[in-house]
Amino acid sequence: MKIAFPTNNLKTISSHTSLSKYFAVIEIKDGEITDRVAIKNPIPELAKQTQTEEPNRGLGAGRIIPQLLKGVDVFIANQIGDGMKSNLNAAGIKVIETQIKDIKTIIDEFMEV
């Protein structure tokens, strides 16, 4: 199972999914972590380059992020908009919202299941 998280520091979940610096992707097989990858999120750079009346809108995050996370089974975030959630679901990625910020804590819970 591959689990992805929006993050700025690879340790905690970022509060803003689309503007997180990275997506931490952790693969778990047979209760063990078998792979860890950090995928750089291009959206924050696009946000800096684009000046619009509504900052952070129209950057294509809903199209770009699901493509970046191809092959991921579960996406876990503290909060996520309906549009992004719908796009991730359409890409076959289950979305879970949680109040837990620490990625290690969440991974430990998944490995116990």
What pTM was estimated for this model as a whole? 0.89
Domain count, the chain: 1
Report yes or no: 60 and 46 within 8 Å, Cβ to Cβ: yes
Report yes or no: 43 and 62 within 8 Å, Cβ to Cβ: no
Q: Which one, of 25, 29, 30, 27, lies nearest residue 10 by Cα? A: 25
Our measurement of the distance from residue 57's CA atom to the centroid of its chain's CA atoms, rounded to an integer in Å, reads 18
Range in 2-11, 26-35, 48-57, 73-82 with the lowest mean pLDDT:
48-57
What is the per-residue pLDDT across 52-90, written as a single tens digit (0 to 9) for each? 555 555 567 888 999 999 999 999 999 998 999 999 999
Specify the CATH number for the domain of residue 49. Answer: 3.30.420.130
| Residue whose token pair is 């969440």 | 106
Which residue range forms the structural domain that includes residue 21? 2-112
